[in-house]
């Protein structure tokens, strides 16, 4: 087993597609943002000191018992409804018995043959061959409730994995946090668009989850985790090929890359006469490859049986209908509405969504920025930074509120666009709010006539030829002097006022 992830032999993607049809399957775990855990009253805050948010139940101490968190059930139903699922009239939890070092009960309380939500679908929008948006229907098999495990920290050893570690530390703060696992049916027929469909599905699912307000939906913190199943079958065959399951892919970009990588890896193996090993695989963000995890056969014996400590969950139809009535606007419908409100062209809209910035732009506008300004910052400066650093645009460390504030500072002429970029840099670097960055870095535009006048005089003196031209009425030449003043003022001058001063002085 390779732990570091060296690239396997890959096949060119076009060649793969000429011979094989890919089938996708996505399992997305959503960590709910309930105040308390799935089966006990412990708090769920992220990042707390290890083992400070625990009790006998989530530590699995002898004698402790679970009680279902009603808020988590409600969230599960809302997710199910938003995914057009049927909601079970009666369902149960089951014990999934297996050993895992950071699972304190030695079984996970989950749902097995009786999920709370099943048989749904989601229409995802991808870019069609003609460049126009195209819908692709992803069918949902089930959405079920379960609990998260704790987290292990393997100390010593080169890889951070358990093999070779000197010892392991376990943090049970995450043990028992409510999870919803959303499982698709095999997604076939996406062909060359399989990587895009996978990404679009996870992206839209994430938007939906955010719209429902049931999770922080932060992929980098693991509150949304995607497992990507992929198999290839010779073109024209009905039967699915052997699949691999790439675990815990933690960014949208990686979802797309992981699908593409596995397609090319499977293609190379199959074309070489080999067969695919059914196994779980690890995704390596840095190298963009997957490596073998543990072999997983279908016959894995979890010895499921109904959890005897929990009474069945039987949501009344009245409650389900109440929850249906309070669902937020579907993000797809909402997008069409907002596009009209904002006056964006189709292309602008598509770029905004493509950059994963739709929610950010929306929030920035909600915070008071003009639509085009909001779009400009996120798709310009922020998208550039995201591309350069490989950090998701949502995870850059700057919020829509910050951006709205920066635009407000521009509108108030406290800073100009150029200075705004430095403010953005400062905010991302953690130097504080936009105002604080302006203050700390001394970035405010100078419109004080005293300081500007001196700089203008200096520029006139240094450029007598240009000054003469302006005196002769060639006002367009003022640009050169403005440039000199700006340089002198390190960009912090109010360009409009500088121009006025130059013309005043030379007329």
In angstroms, what is the minimal distance from the CB of 98 to other proteins?
9
In angstroms, what is the minimal distance from the CB of 117 to other proteins?
21
Quick one: 256 or 307, whose CB is closer to other proteins?
Answer: 307
The residues that bridge with 146 in the sheet, in sequence order, are: 179
Using CB under 8 A as the binding criterion, the count of chain residues that bind other proteins stands at 28
The residues that bridge with 447 in the sheet, in sequence order, are: none
Q: Which of 35, 43, 305, 327 binds other proteins (CB under 8 A)?
A: 305
CA angle 227, 328, 396 (to 5 degrees): 55
Quick one: 62 or 430, whose CB is closer to other proteins?
Answer: 62
**Residue 37 interacting with other proteins (CB under 8 A):** no
Q: Which two tokens stand for residue 435?
A: 């105002």
Instruction: Calculate the CA dihedral of residues 451, 454, 459, 465 and round it to 10 degrees.
Output: 140
**Residue 155 interacting with other proteins (CB under 8 A):** no
Backbone conformation region of residue 270, classed left if phi is above 0, alpha if psi is from -120 to 50, else beta: alpha
Q: Which of 64, 391, 451, 480 binds other proteins (CB under 8 A)?
A: 64
The per-residue b/e assignment along 75-93, b for 16 or more CB within 10 angstroms, e otherwise, is bbbbbbbbbebebbeebbb
| Site pattern 462..481 for other proteins (x: CB under 8 A) | --------------------
Residues 241-300 that bind other proteins (CB under 8 A): 299
Helix residue ranges, H only, 378-429: 383-389, 400-411, 417-428
Q: Which of 158, 311, 429, 454 binds other proteins (CB under 8 A)?
A: 311
**415 secondary structure, DSSP code:** S
**Residue 308 interacting with other proteins (CB under 8 A):** yes
Count the helix, strand and coil residues of the chain and give each as a percent rounded to the nearest 5.
40, 20, 40
Quick one: 109 or 250, whose CB is closer to other proteins?
Answer: 109
Q: Which two tokens stand for residue 377?
A: 């910052």
SS3 track for 487-501: HHCCCCECHHHHHHH
The residues that bridge with 36 in the sheet, in sequence order, are: 43
In angstroms, what is the minimal distance from the CB of 239 to other proteins?
23
**Residue 446 interacting with other proteins (CB under 8 A):** no
**Residue 7 interacting with other proteins (CB under 8 A):** no
In angstroms, what is the minimal distance from the CB of 97 to other proteins?
5
Stretch that binds other proteins, among 153-161, 306-314, 407-415, 488-496 (CB under 8 A): 306-314
Burial of 297: CB neighbours in 10 Å, binned 0-12, 13-18, 19+: exposed
| Site pattern 104..123 for other proteins (x: CB under 8 A) | xxxx----------------
Q: How far apart are CA 186 and CA 188, in angstroms?
A: 6
Quick one: 156 or 496, whose CB is closer to other proteins?
Answer: 156
Quick one: 66 or 178, whose CB is closer to other proteins?
Answer: 66
Q: Which of 68, 182, 194, 203 binds other proteins (CB under 8 A)?
A: 68
Quick one: 172 or 377, whose CB is closer to other proteins?
Answer: 172
In angstroms, what is the minimal distance from the CB of 174 to other proteins?
16
Q: How far apart are CA 378 and CA 383, in angstroms?
A: 6
Q: Which of 9, 35, 43, 56 binds other proteins (CB under 8 A)?
A: 56
243 — phi, psi (to 5°)?
-105, 160
Q: Is the CB of residue 460 less than 8 Å from the CB of residue 453?
A: no
Strands 187-188 and 20-31: antiparallel
**Residue 156 interacting with other proteins (CB under 8 A):** no
Q: How far apart are CA 231 and CA 376, in angstroms?
A: 40
In angstroms, what is the minimal distance from the CB of 104 to other proteins?
7
**Residue 309 interacting with other proteins (CB under 8 A):** yes
**Residue 310 interacting with other proteins (CB under 8 A):** yes
Specify the 3-state DSSP secondary structure of 107.
Answer: strand
In angstroms, what is the minimal distance from the CB of 113 to other proteins?
11
Report CA 210 to chain centroid distance, whole Å. Answer: 10
**Residue 99 interacting with other proteins (CB under 8 A):** yes
Instruction: Calculate the CA dihedral of residues 355, 358, 359, 361 and round it to 10 degrees.
Output: 100
**Residue 153 interacting with other proteins (CB under 8 A):** no
Residue with tokens 């949902």: 140
Q: Which of 5, 22, 25, 66 binds other proteins (CB under 8 A)?
A: 66
Q: Which of 18, 61, 336, 340 binds other proteins (CB under 8 A)?
A: 61
- Site for other proteins, rule CB under 8 A: 56, 59-68, 95, 97, 99, 101, 104-107, 299, 301, 303-305, 308-311
């Amino acid at each position: 087993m390779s732990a570091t992830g060296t690239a396997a032999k890959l096949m060119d993607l076009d060649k793969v597609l000429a011979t094989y049809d890919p089938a996708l399957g996505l399992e997305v775990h959503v960590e709910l943002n309930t105040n308390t855990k799935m089966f006990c009253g412990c708090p769920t805050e992220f990042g707390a000191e290890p083992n400070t948010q625990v009790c006998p139940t989530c530590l699995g101490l002898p004698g402790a018992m679970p009680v279902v968190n009603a808020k988590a059930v409600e969230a599960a139903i809302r997710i199910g409804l938003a995914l057009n699922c049927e909601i079970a009239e009666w369902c149960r939890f089951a014990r999934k018995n297996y050993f895992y070092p950071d699972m304190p009960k030695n079984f996970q309380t989950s749902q097995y043959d009786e999920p709370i939500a099943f048989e749904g679908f989601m229409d995802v929008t991808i870019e069609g061959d003609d460049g126009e948006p195209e819908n692709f229907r992803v069918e949902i098999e089930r959405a079920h409730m379960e609990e998260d495990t704790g987290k292990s920290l393997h100390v010593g050893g080169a890889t951070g994995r358990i093999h070779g570690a000197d010892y392991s530390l376990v943090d049970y703060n995450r043990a028992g946090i409510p999870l919803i696992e959303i499982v698709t049916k095999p997604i076939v027929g996406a062909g060359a668009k399989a990587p895009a469909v996978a990404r679009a599905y996870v992206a839209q699912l994430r938007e939906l989850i955010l719209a429902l307000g049931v999770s922080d939906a932060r992929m980098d913190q693991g509150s949304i985790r995607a497992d990507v199943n992929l198999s290839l079958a010779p073109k024209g065959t009905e039967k699915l090929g052997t699949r691999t399951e790439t675990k815990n892919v933690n960014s949208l970009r990686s979802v797309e890359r992981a699908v593409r990588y596995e397609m090319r890896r499977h293609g190379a193996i199959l074309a070489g006469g080999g067969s695919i090993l059914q196994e779980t695989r690890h995704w390596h963000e840095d190298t963009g490859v997957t490596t073998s995890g543990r072999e997983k056969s279908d016959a894995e014996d979890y010895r499921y049986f109904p959890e005897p400590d929990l009474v069945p969950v039987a949501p009344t139809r009245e409650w389900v209908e109440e929850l249906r009535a309070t669902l937020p606007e579907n993000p797809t419908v909402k997008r069409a509405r907002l596009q009209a409100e904002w006056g964006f062209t189709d292309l602008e809209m598509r770029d905004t969504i493509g950059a994963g910035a739709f929610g950010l732009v929306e929030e920035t506008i909600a915070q008071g920025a003009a639509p085009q300004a909001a779009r400009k910052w996120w798709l310009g400066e922020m998208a550039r930074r995201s591309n350069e650093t490989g950090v998701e645009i949502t995870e850059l460390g700057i919020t829509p509120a910050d951006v709205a504030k920066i635009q407000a500072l521009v509108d108030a002429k406290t800073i100009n666009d150029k200075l705004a970029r430095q403010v953005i840099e400062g905010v991302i670097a953690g130097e504080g709010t936009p105002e604080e960055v302006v203050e700390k870095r001394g970035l405010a535009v100078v419109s004080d006539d005293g300081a500007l006048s001196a700089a203008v005089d200096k520029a006139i003196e240094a450029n007598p030829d240009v000054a003469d031209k302006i005196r002769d009425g060639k006002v367009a030449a003022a640009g050169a002097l403005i440039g000199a003043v700006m340089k002198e003022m390190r960009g912090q001058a109010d360009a409009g006022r500088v121009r006025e001063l130059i013309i005043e002085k030379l007329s």
